[in-house]
Amino acid sequence: METERHAATYYREPLPQHVRSLLGREDTGDVRLSVRADLDLAGSYRDQWVCVTTDELLLIDPDSEEVAFHALKRLRELRVENLVTTGILTAKIGRTRTILARFSNTHIRRFSGFVKLVEKLEHGEALTDTDIRGDQQEMYCPRCGRRYPDPHRQVCPRCLDKGSLFRRVLSYLPRYRRAILLILLCITASSLMRLFVPFLGGRILFDQVLSPGGRYYGRIAFVILLMIGSQLASMLLQIGYGRTNARVAAQVFFDLKTDIFTAMQRLSLSFFSRKQTGGLITRVNWDALQLQFFFIDGAPYFLVNSLTILGVGTVMMLLNWKLALMVFVPAPLIVYAVKKLFPRLWALFSRLFRRRSMLTSLVNDTLSGVRVVKAFGKEEQEVERFLPVNQGLYSAEVSARRLAATVFPLFLFIMQIGGLIVWAYGGRQVTGGSLSFGTLMTFVGYLALLYGPLQFMTMIVDWWTSCMNAAQRVFEVIDAQPEVRESGNPVRLPRMAAAVTLKGVSFGYEPNKPVLHDIDLEVRPGEMIGLVGHTGAGKSTLTNLVTRLYDVEDGEILIDGVNVKEIATADLRSQVGIVLQETYLFSGTVAENIAYARPDADRSEIIAAARAANAHDFIVGKPDGYDTLLGKKGADLSVGERQRIAVARALLMDPRILIFDEATSSVDSETEQKIQQAIERMIRGRTTFAIAHRLSTLRRADRLVVLEKGRIVEAGPHAELMERKGVYHKMVTKEREALRVIAVGAS
Amino acid sequence: MTKKGIQFRLIQPGEADFQKTRGGFLSLKLGGEKRYPRVHLYRSFPLSEAGRYISVRDEEDAEIGIIEDLAAFPQKTVRLLEEELERRYFTPVIEEIRSLKQEFGYTYWEVGTDSGICRFTVKVGDNTARVLSGTDLLIFDVDGNRFELPSYESLESRHLKIVETLL
């Protein structure tokens, strides 16, 4: 549960008056830490306070006014336990483990940090200001005090308004100032030209040309030619701006897509694993397209039509202001209707887009899993799963379109009332002699000019809402901060000795689902560590952390004594290499794939790497050799071949630290030996973390680290662990399948 | 996998003695001899069958056995067990909506629940609401807290409109 209070000091929250008086002291100078739990022990939302002084831990219940004191010396093993939706703070008091406090998920991180600080105090260490402040980013918007709902995006939805979204979209335009100016000129001129026509066709034609005594009596051809001329000029100007606009719009579209793609590349791994990738791709294409419509069709037409409306209004006012007013009588009605229906339409279209993407995901899901569907004979079930979702989309579509279909004719009708009024009032004036017939015809002509733009204006709602929705999603991607960021003052480490240390590392991909607990490991430069354990034990997670694909919050990882968070990203990435089980090869040639880490490597280096990986022979054996195209359009390689190319890639990179996730697929023994040899060459001399499956790899490792449920249970060389006859021994001898240990020949 | 590995042990009311420890946890004495100073309770079907197939685990999270149906136990024990389960599966039931606003992809709630008054934020989209049986909803806020909203279809229409955007 949240409060809107601005928690400036994370671990020393200001105590309310009532609580301070309960403590029996006004001066709370000796209260080192104070945090608030939002639940009481019975599970009701009643704030409880947990305070720590120099030698005591206090639990304060403001309502019942109970204060419990515990000497810090008597509290052992203070810790936070994650339950599904809550956390509890527990400690051993004497021999009994006791629950001290309860809190909702919102406060778990805070209490975990709190426990660490208490430990610091117990060890006699002083707490610094940074400690008290916590390294949490600002959680609350400084303007309105509301919480940033997305912890990774410091954007306050309330303080962000649609106007600023629109301005931001417009900010892509200034680069093309000149072209836009040209467009604006053309649009204005074109509209003006068109305004001429009803004037010519009404007042001039009827009053001056066709009426006897008129100034241009009989000169019909002249007037018609003028009319044609205006229309022609208008059309040419329109073509002119259309063509310019096409170029500008495409350019803006290009800029936007580049920004999106760059942003996506910059984002951390967690962003991609969180949102469905399908959704992301749709987002980039579809939303950028929406915005393109805005630039090509929407904005120019909006301008044209606004100008037309303005121009028509002005001319009408000049001709006969009373009649002009009559035309605009229905205007307030329109405004009212728009204000009421606008937000509703926005909401309905949002819902429509959401349901549409839900359906797309479902279909993608089912179709990619088609093998399973058919194997289990569940085709009918899948159709039944599809039906309600499709139904949902259908109803959303119907409601949205229905409203749109109601709004539009409604507006039309309102405008037509205007026309009828003109005929009625105008007609009376003509018969009364106060208005010339020609002027009335001009008015009618202008009304016709008005209808088009007004109709468009009602459609604007449609276009505008979908565009702003799209813009919001696009900017969300562009704005998303990568979780793993380079530090402000990165430490350069151009040539790592590659000693790796993990201290007290705990980590979970999600806040209350820890995967690794308290990992302590020291690895010497050049040492090979074999990570062993059942699936889900945390092996891959550990390697993700060492390479800083994810950041740890508890504990630290050091390379050569420097925290990985401080190391310059370029140095980290260029000296830490990864060889995974699933070899990902890009669309490109074999040579390009091998040289991925170092595109400027010359041919001899590529060949040398391939030779060391025992890949050279099969590559040269292919018709296109190193120029063979890989990827979707390219050659299909066998698993063993892919592995060796991945090894070659790693060799060429020549990293100081190597993460190696051994593939478990079995290949024929001849290939197996080649692969083993390649791996051996790859590992030599580097600090290696290998997720090992092959017995030969396990033996080769300097030390094995056995992980179980995220903890290190055994560590040591193979021979030693086998002698110990513990967990490792059991895994290797009895449960080969668990490890999928591959023994080749007589190993 | 041996047959033994597939069968699970049912814990019968007669043989199980659950007690609350001084520290506020749950202990179990099974069959008169085996003592577990602290046990964890997990619901196998937290959303569809909250009172059945409760997995009883020891401190290392190894399963001791399964309670097929809580209702088979004496009232006092049931209360004790449910108190423990509530701790893990704390899901306040929303009784009234005091304020509900939607802005820019997030909904801001202030509600009265069976555990007191509470404020939370829910993101629109991203599966933050799930239909339980009938018209009961399970809502997940940005911190992973959960709330139950019974009979959501009988909400006031201005609230219903917002809730529907979560589905």
Measured between beta carbons, the chain A residues lying within 8 angstroms of B123 are 149-150
Boundaries of every domain in chain A:
17-133, 162-479, 500-739
> Are the C-beta atoms of residues A22 and A16 closer than 8 Å to each other?
no
Rounded CA separation B19/A583 (Å): 54
Measured between beta carbons, the chain B residues lying within 8 angstroms of A88 are 87
User: Quick one: pLDDT at residue A170?
Assistant: 76
Q: Who wins on pLDDT, A467 or A334?
A: A467
> Are the C-beta atoms of residues A420 and A376 closer than 8 Å to each other?
no
Residue A119 pLDDT > 70, yes or no?
yes
Return the SS3 of A534: coil
Residue A474 pLDDT > 80, yes or no?
no
Measured between beta carbons, the chain B residues lying within 8 angstroms of A160 are 104
Is B23 within 8 Å of chain A by CB?
yes
Q: In the structure, what pLDDT confidence band is assigned to residue A10 with cuts at 50, 70 and 90?
A: confident
Rounded CA separation A439/A445 (Å): 10
A685-735 pLDDT, tens digit each: 889 999 877 777 778 889 999 998 888 999 999 889 888 888 888 877 765
Is B48 within 8 Å of chain A by CB?
no
Rounded CA separation A524/A539 (Å): 19
Is A146 within 8 Å of chain B by CB?
yes
Whether B105 and A157 lie within 8 Å, measured CB to CB:
yes
Q: Which residues contact A252 (CB under 8 A, 6 or more apart)?
A: A172, A173, A176, A292, A295
CATH class of A500-739: alpha beta
User: Quick one: pLDDT at residue A4?
Assistant: 36
User: Quick one: pLDDT at residue A6?
Assistant: 38
Q: Which residues contact B29 (CB under 8 A, 6 or more apart)?
A: B16, B17, B19, B35, B36
Boundaries of every domain in chain B:
8-88, 94-164
Is B32 within 8 Å of chain A by CB?
no
User: Quick one: pLDDT at residue A309?
Assistant: 84
A233-289 pLDDT, tens digit each: 888 888 888 888 888 878 877 887 888 888 877 776 766 665 544 555 566 677 777
A583-587 CB contacts, 8 Å cutoff, 24+ apart = A583/A642, A583/A643, A583/A645, A583/A646, A583/A663, A585/A630, A585/A631, A585/A637, A585/A642, A585/A645, A585/A646, A586/A630, A586/A631, A587/A629, A587/A630, A587/A631, A587/A632, A587/A633, A587/A634
Q: Who wins on pLDDT, A700 or A165?
A: A700
Measured between beta carbons, the chain A residues lying within 8 angstroms of B164 are 351
User: Quick one: pLDDT at residue B112?
Assistant: 94
- For the segment A304-328, the average pLDDT, to the nearest whole number, is 82
A270-281 pLDDT, tens digit each: 666 655 445 555
Is A98 within 8 Å of chain B by CB?
yes
Average pLDDT, chain B: 85
Whether B22 and A472 lie within 8 Å, measured CB to CB:
no
Share above pLDDT 90 across residues of chain A, in percent, rounded to a whole number = 8
* Token code pair at residue A579: 């060889």
User: Quick one: pLDDT at residue B2?
Assistant: 45
Whether B113 and A45 lie within 8 Å, measured CB to CB:
yes
Whether A43 and B25 lie within 8 Å, measured CB to CB:
no
ipTM of this complex: 0.88
Q: In the structure, what pLDDT confidence band is assigned to residue A7 with cuts at 50, 70 and 90?
A: very low
Whether A43 and B115 lie within 8 Å, measured CB to CB:
yes
Task: HSE, CB side, 13 Å, CA atoms: give it for residue A390.
Answer: 7
Residue A382 pLDDT > 90, yes or no?
no
Rounded CA separation B8/A534 (Å): 22
Residue A1 pLDDT > 50, yes or no?
no
User: Quick one: pLDDT at residue A540?
Assistant: 85
* Token code pair at residue A655: 């990293």
User: Quick one: pLDDT at residue A66?
Assistant: 85
Diameter over CA atoms, chain A: 123
What is the dotted CATH code of the domain comprising A17-133?
2.30.29.30
Strand partners, A395: none
Taking one residue from A and the other from B, the number of pairs with CB-CB distance under 8 angstroms is 99
Q: Who wins on pLDDT, A330 or A60?
A: A60
Residue A514 CB coordination number (10 Å): 18
CATH class of A162-479: mainly alpha
Residue A103 pLDDT > 90, yes or no?
yes
Q: In the structure, what pLDDT confidence band is assigned to residue A312 with cuts at 50, 70 and 90?
A: confident
Residue A8 pLDDT > 60, yes or no?
no
pTM of the entire predicted model: 0.61
> What residues 49-68 of chain B have any CB closer than 8 A to a CB of chain A?
none
Of the given ranges (A42-46, A104-108, A437-441), which has the lowest mean pLDDT? A437-441
Mean pLDDT split into 10-residue runs, chain B, 167 residues = 60 88 88 86 85 88 87 92 90 93 80 92 81 85 89 85 81
